[in-house]
Amino acid sequence: YHILTLTHRDASLETIGQAIVPGDDAPQMLRTLKTRFGWDELLYVATCNRITFLFYSQAPLGNDLADKVLSIIHPDLSAQVLENIAAQMRLLHGAEAVRHLFEVAGSMDSLVVGEREIIRQLREAYDRSRAWGLTGDHLRLLMRFTIETAKEIYTHTGIGQKALSVVALAFAEMQKKH
């Protein structure tokens, strides 16, 4: 399992917006990525504060994967802009990728910690990717365990009781320090 992601932690929302796969071309563009890089399965998630390419592949991955993915998605952007966006993307592998997905689904890696909307967004992204013929058993099983894990997090912790934005926390700290 691998994740190539651009999130609010690493980039501005404007930068994230520049990296979104264009809606009209999304199915074909994602099929192109899957074929071009030899990925067995692909799930694409785009929310207001992240884009994520979750893929299963045993093919070797180059260090310049983000550059290559972005140049396919947005061939119209200048090399400098693409390089800037790619430098802010993270590539995660194996257990680290799965852990990141669980944290996203459990709303621990979000601008609004505790918000349950991400579970719906992940399910819809999976359903779209499946309908486009991009996923298989590896991602089906991972998504099943991801949703189960997120439900466990919400059930056995207080994270979902009161959603709290990162901005609100920062503002509260500023107020404490006058």
Instruction: Give the active site residues.
Output: 48
- Contact of 125 with 27, CB cutoff 8 Å: no
- Contact of 26 with 51, CB cutoff 8 Å: no
Range list of β-strands (E), the chain: 2-7, 41-47, 50-56, 90-93, 112-113, 164-165
Report the SS3 class of residue 72: helix
How many residues belong to the chain? 178
C-alpha distance from residue 51 to each of 20, 158, 168, 176 (Å): 7, 27, 23, 34
Tell me phi and psi for residue 73, to 5 degrees: -70, -40
Tell me the CB-side half-sphere exposure of residue 103, using CA atoms within 13 A. 12
